[in-house]
Amino acid sequence: LRQAEIALYRAKSLGKNKVVFFQENMQKNLERRVSLENMLFTAIQKKELYLEFQPQYHIPDRRLRGFEVLVRWESPQLGHIPPVDFIPLAEANGSIVTIGKWILQEACREYMSVLANYERKPTLSVNISVVQFRSPDFMDMVRSVLAETGIDPANLEFEITESVCINSPEQTKAILKELKQLGIRLSMDDFGTGYSSLSYLRTLPLDVVKIDKSFIDPIGTIPDDKNIVRSIIDMAHQLDLQVVAEGIESLNQFDYLVRYNCDYIQGNYLGRPAPIHTL
């Protein structure tokens, strides 16, 4: 790419009326982005993607609730690439539709292959990107994965973010209702970080809200009555939603969540590293 093109590309990504002079690291960033994109397209065929299953536990009896599926990318050329780096790329170029389908299929297959080991059937929570959610054959894709893997939809949970509510709220509601009719549970991820109004959220057929780690981190460092986690839990319970808290790393945080009746925790547990199960 010519240097002027790179500067233009960067200026566009910053918005209108921005002047950007070419810098060497811009070229490096762009090259990395382009090569990441190319490699991402072939990552599935090359079997470079795999899944981790992060456990969720019931509070306070510590019974296993289920697992959230987290995608991982190990590239022979680039090493480990975290999902926060490649999911947005996959969303921008549309490959998230293919990747997301693979994630759902693979997660259900792995789940079914170990189900017999569990006395109580665990919940399988799968992240659904807004781009995937909006793709025209999303519902057909979901039905075909259910049919081909034989998973009981009652054990399947989809995690969506508030961004699915922006733009076409009525269409969103319709798809969520179809998913509910199939028997799939619905969870609002990163609850509280988006901009959707509470009055809209309460019209959605949700089962669970997940409180983001950014709300959990300050627990113990600020007074309880200054912390909004407590209000989020109360509000969710008033709407008959269950609450999963993410990223608990200290006993202080655990005690707080017990004290204010949070239902489940996910991730690092009582200061120990999160037991990442391969199911």
Binding residues (CB under 6 A) for ligand C2E: these are 54, 69-71, 82-84, 87, 100, 103, 127, 129, 189-190, 213, 246-249, 266-268, 274
18 vs 275, which CB is nearer to ligand C2E?
275
Q: Which of 48, 162, 212, 249 binds Ca ion (CB under 5 A)?
A: 212
What does the alpha-carbon distance between residue 68 and residue 83 come to, in Å, rounded to a whole number? 14
Write the interaction track for Ca ion spanning residues 153-192; mark x where CB under 5 A is met and - where it is not. ------x-----------------------------xx--
84 vs 147, which CB is nearer to ligand C2E?
84
Name which of ligand C2E, Ca ion, none residue 141 binds, using a CB cut-off of 5 to 8 Å depending on partner kind: none
Angle, CA of 74, 78 and 80, to the nearest 5°: 35
Handedness of CA 210, 213, 215, 221 (dihedral sign): positive
Distance of CA 104 to the CA centre of its chain: 12
Q: Which stretch in 21-29, 39-47, 198-206, 209-217 sits in contact with Ca ion by CB under 5 A?
A: 209-217
Q: Please, what is the minimum distance in Å from the beta carbon of residue 195 to Ca ion?
A: 16
Name which of Ca ion, ligand C2E, none residue 129 binds, using a CB cut-off of 5 to 8 Å depending on partner kind: ligand C2E
CB atoms < 10 A from the CB of 59, how many? 19
87 contacts: CB under 8 Å, gap ≥ 6:
71, 96, 129
Strand partners for 70? 52
C-beta nearest to ligand C2E: residue? 267
Q: Please, what is the minimum distance in Å from the beta carbon of residue 247 to Ca ion?
A: 8
> How buried is 179 (Cβ within 10 angstroms: 0-12 exposed, 13-18 middle, 19+ buried)?
buried
Name which of ligand C2E, Ca ion, none residue 149 binds, using a CB cut-off of 5 to 8 Å depending on partner kind: none
Q: Please, what is the minimum distance in Å from the beta carbon of residue 237 to Ca ion?
A: 20
Distances in whole angstroms, Cα of residue 84 to Cα of each of 80, 132, 156, 274: 12, 16, 23, 19
Distances in whole angstroms, Cα of residue 187 to Cα of each of 45, 109, 162, 236: 30, 21, 10, 12
What is the phi-psi region of residue 62: left when phi exceeds 0, alpha when psi lies from -120 to 50, beta otherwise?
left
159 vs 204, which CB is nearer to ligand C2E?
159
Q: Please, what is the minimum distance in Å from the beta carbon of residue 101 to Ca ion?
A: 17
Q: Which spans of this chain sit near Ca ion (rule: CB under 5 A)?
A: 127, 159, 189-190, 212
